[in-house]
Amino acid sequence: MSEGPVLILGARSDIGMAVAHTYAALGHPIQLAARNAQDLEKAKTDLEIRHQVSVTLHEFDVVDLDSHDGFVETLPASPEIVVCAVGLLGQQENDEQDANAAVLVMRSNFEGPANILGALANRFERRGSGALVGISSVAGERGRATNYIYGSAKAGFTAFLSGLRNRMAKKGVHVVTVLPGFVDTKMTQELDLPEKLTAQPSEVADAIERAVRKKKNIVYVKPIWAIVMFVIKAIPEAIFKRMRI
């Protein structure tokens, strides 16, 4: 793939910024998209100085669906690669009692990301090239009491990416689903994460770059997660509903 622009949606996140550095180091121009994008000026300067590439900032709100088409139209150049690193973990116990909080989690993890990637996919299809990367979650592979609102949104996003990949398979556009498992980020800093199951943002970024380059479809950043989720999905429902994992 040529060293075309890489658009990062949710660029403020630790994973988004790691992806920016990975692709900037390879010579790609970087488009950083986030809410209050002007606050990323220091990150922009760092990327430009460190990697000698062009970096632009773009205001983007994933839950403002009406703004998505206009956002795409205002990009200075059509991206060759798009990485959607948008996400909101939420707090399950709060979200199951607060409908507005639950809706925000669902819209942030499914409706918004699906809508913007759908808008970009239509443009990529007309062009006949490009890669779309969605960061989903292993939480979407089976609903669990401890995070089923977040997990259900990620399940929807995973299904969307699967269908989009199927649609784009003969259109010259590659769609990647990334399943990181636990990642050591600001979003998870209050959680007690198991070391062997936890990836660093740089590992996620490297996995994304390899997946795009090698045209992989579904990527578990830590391969052990494929085994873990195979086991969890195999537990009979009669037993599973009595468990809390």
Phi, psi values for residue 58, rounded to 5°: -140, 130
When pLDDT is averaged across residues 111-119 and rounded to a whole number, the result is: 98
Out of 23, 148, 150, 220, the active site residue is: 150
CB atoms within 10 A of CB 58: 19
Q: Give the chain's domains with CATH numbers.
A: 6-240 (3.40.50.720)
Residue 145 has pLDDT above 80, yes or no: yes
Sequence-ordered list of residues with C-beta below 8 angstroms from that of 41, at least 6 positions apart, any chain: 57
- Specify whether 150 is catalytic: yes
In the chain, the percentage of residues whose pLDDT exceeds 70 is 98
pTM of the model: 0.93
Per-residue pLDDT reduced to its tens digit, 54-108: 999 999 999 999 999 999 999 999 999 999 999 999 999 999 999 999 999 999 9
CA atoms within 13 A on the CB side of 133: 31
CB 243 within 8 A of CB 235: yes
When pLDDT is averaged across residues 108-120 and rounded to a whole number, the result is: 98
The answer to whether the Cα torsion of 125, 126, 129, 135 is positive or negative is negative
Per-residue pLDDT reduced to its tens digit, 184-198: 887 776 777 778 899
pLDDT band at 1; cut points 50, 70, 90: very low
* CA 14 – CA 185 distance, rounded (Å): 6
Per-residue pLDDT reduced to its tens digit, 175-224: 999 999 899 887 776 777 778 899 999 999 999 999 999 999 999 999 99
Say what the pLDDT of residue 54 is: 97
